[in-house]
Amino acid sequence: MKFRHFQLPGAVRAAVDSRIQPWHRYHGFLSIIKQRYETEAARYDPCPAPGARVYRVTEDPRQKLQLDVETFYLYANMMLDQIAENVRFFFGFPRAKKTSANPNGYWSHLTLLDKLAKSAASSGLTGDVAGLLVQAEEFRKLRAYRNKSITHWDANDTHLATSWDGKDLTIQRGFQGDPAELKRRLAAGEFEFQMTSTVPSLYDLLDTYAAEVQSFLEANAAKFEGKQ
């Protein structure tokens, strides 16, 4: 684990402590989910003995793995948004445009991708902002997958299928119906975003990114503004 407790000057740390609690909390949740997933994956048998039955959904190992995968994606996105809003607060960047869905103008991960480079340059921040954004860009697909295949999955003409590589389970969204409609949707990029990283791999990417943002804030502690 690379993410750790912040190392900030006393006055800055006191102002930041309460703001970063959700960030630490969601990172802890991801660590728990990853451990739970790996324990279940280690004993998962994709080809159970003939006649073996699962009588309760709570006893179904495949369902447990799917739950851990989907829960991981949900909390991963929540942590990414918390990181983005903490960056905005730390440096006092302007809020995002207020909408009915975001009445407070909080930064989301997508806002960070859109605004960080320009905001950092205008504030004279030091560090590898471009490299940070390259890492952040990797999670754009994660967000789209969460939205299309988990949170807002439309089961009218799509289905979710699992695959097992002998160590990890992934969940993919497929289409069932008219071939012409499938062709149209493929051309429109609707199935572009799928689950491309296993939970352990994704955890490592998120942990590294969280630690890099943490170091970026610490290196620029003199620029702290702490604006709500």
pLDDT tens, position by position, 180-207: 876 776 677 665 556 667 899 889 999 9
* Domain interval for residue 216: 10-149+199-223
Residue 102 falls within a domain, yes or no?
Answer: yes
Closest to 220 measured CA to CA, from 2, 7, 1: 7
**Would you say residue 160 lies in a domain?**
no
CA–CA distance, 16 with 30 (Å, rounded to integer) = 22
Report yes or no: 86 and 209 within 8 Å, Cβ to Cβ: no
Report if residue 186 sits inside a domain.
Answer: no
Domain membership flag for residue 194: no
The answer to whether residue 162 sits within a structural domain is no
pTM (two decimals): 0.85
Distances (CA, A) of 131 to 2, 37, 199: 17, 30, 23
Q: How many domains does the chain have?
A: 1
Is pLDDT above 70 for 73?
yes
Higher per-residue pLDDT: 143 or 5: 5
Determine, yes or no, domain membership for 1.
no
